[in-house]
A and B are shown apart, each in its own frame.
Chain A
Amino acid sequence: MLTASFGNSVQAPPRDLLGEITREHRPPWPDFSDSITILGEGVVLIMYALVGRIVLRLRLSPAPRNEEQLVRLKLE
């Protein structure tokens, strides 16, 4: 009985109703006023690429020699 009352009190995870309504009314053919959003997605891709370039350059380039020497001196 306790288990049943606990089970009944557990709520289902909230549904993304707004997202569902939006997705339910997807147009079958392109809406040219919305085609500009493809360019927006291109910009997002370029942004990720730029972030990737910055992070990878910082992480993957070997440290400059002078810096490496300084670190070594400190350790010793």
Chain B
Amino acid sequence: MAEPGESAKSLHWRLKATFWLDGLLAISVCALQTVPGTGLIIHEWLGLAVIGMAFAHLLFSWSWISSISRRLLARHSLRARINYVLNLALFAAVTAVIYSGIQISQKAVPVLTGSKGAEVMDWRWDALHHDFANAVLMLAGFHVAMNWEWVLAAGQKIFRRVLDGVQ
């Protein structure tokens, strides 16, 4: 049987994991916007790593996603509805950017699949990848704005504990 202390500990662990994962995801999204800054090899492997990070981010938020999806037609506040539509658009844009990225991959996907990278770049996929990446950055910014109170509260809780531990 779980002790109350254990439960609080696991809750704090979950909060910490979510906070740092989201921070890492935000930094990765920024780093992925500039290929010369990271180089093509890091860009492609980081892009593939983001799939795992985004999947974990969705798992951590699964209770919210499932509860609001089940009551999709019920009356929700305007804020909840806008948040849901924004999240859906962000999910679609991330899926599109990953798919188009896989289509034009020259380094990571050929290594994983053991195939030879395409000799001629498909510029249509490349242009789509670029446009969707811009959309992801914009929607990620709005996503942060929507969840700003959570970011502040979680940050305060985590760093207060760190500071208390130092003192």
Q: Which residues of A line the B interface, CB within 8 A?
A: 15-16, 19-20, 23-24, 26-31, 34-38, 40-42, 44-53, 56, 59-60
Residues in B neighbouring A24, C-beta threshold 8 A: 121
Interface contact A48-B30, CB-CB below 8 Å: no
Residues in B neighbouring A15, C-beta threshold 8 A: 123
- Report the interface size for chain B: residues with CB under 8 A from the other chain: 33
Q: A23-B121, A60-B79 are in contact. Are A29 and B39 (CB under 8 A)?
A: yes
Number of residue pairs across A and B with beta carbons under 8 Å?
Answer: 103
Identify B30's interface contact among A27, A41, A60, CB under 8 A: A41
Interface contact B38-A38, CB-CB below 8 Å: yes
Give 26 A-B contacts (CB < 8 Å), ordered by A residue: A15-B123, A16-B127, A19-B130, A20-B121, A23-B35, A26-B35, A26-B36, A28-B39, A29-B39, A30-B36, A30-B39, A36-B37, A38-B30, A38-B37, A38-B38, A41-B33, A42-B30, A45-B144, A46-B141, A47-B141, A48-B137, A49-B142, A56-B79, A56-B82, A59-B82, A60-B78
B51 to chain A, nearest CB (A): 20
Interface contact A48-B138, CB-CB below 8 Å: yes
B133 to chain A, nearest CB (A): 10
Interface contact A34-B34, CB-CB below 8 Å: yes
Q: How many Å lie between the Cα of A27 and that of B106 in the bound state? A: 12
Interface contact A31-B36, CB-CB below 8 Å: yes
Interface contact A31-B123, CB-CB below 8 Å: no
Residues in B neighbouring A51, C-beta threshold 8 A: 141, 145
Q: A29-B41, A48-B138 are in contact. Are A37 and B145 (CB under 8 A)?
A: no
Q: How many Å lie between the Cα of A66 and that of B122 in the bound state? A: 59
Interface contact A45-B146, CB-CB below 8 Å: no
Interface contact B78-A38, CB-CB below 8 Å: no
> Which single residue of chain B is at the shortest CB-CB distance from A27?
B39
Q: How many Å lie between the Cα of A23 and that of B26 in the bound state? A: 24
Q: How many Å lie between the Cα of A50 and that of B142 in the bound state? A: 8
> Which single residue of chain B is at the shortest CB-CB distance from A36?
B37
Q: A45-B141, A50-B145, A52-B144 are in contact. Are A38 and B41 (CB under 8 A)?
A: no
Most buried by B among A16, A19, A36, A52: A52
> Which single residue of chain B is at the shortest CB-CB distance from A44?
B137
Interface contact B37-A37, CB-CB below 8 Å: yes
Interface contact A41-B42, CB-CB below 8 Å: no
